[in-house]
Amino acid sequence: MRAVLFDLDGTLLDTAPDMAGALNELRKEERLELLPFAEVRQLVSYGATALVRLAFPQADAPAFAELRERFLKIYRGRLAIETRPYEGVLRLRASNQRESPGESSPTSPVG
């Protein structure tokens, strides 16, 4: 095997803090109370649509579309402020870099 591809967002990197921050920034712009991080984290892996629906459950289709676009714009502006690798990812990367060419070692999912 020559390469392994990973979806970094939510697989190797914990992006939930930045996604929750963007969602709460949007709620703040709308003069709404901030949502607890734990509540937002549960839906992060379901993407922008689920997060915006959580934050604005009463929004009709046109308002929802506009809120989703605003959320994505806010998130793009802060997508690496609080994002961090999950625990163990950097150690795994370092251990894989020390292997000699052609050598393989079994690894288990990090998390």
Catalytic annotation present for 7: yes
* Cβ-count burial 36-66 (b if 16+ within 10 Å, e if not): eeeebeebbeeebeebbeebbeebeeeebee
Residue tagged active-site, from 7, 9, 14, 18: 7
Phi-psi region of 22 (alpha: psi -120 to 50; beta: other; left: phi over 0): alpha
22 vs 9: CA distance, rounded Å: 15
Give catalytic residues, as residue numbers.
7
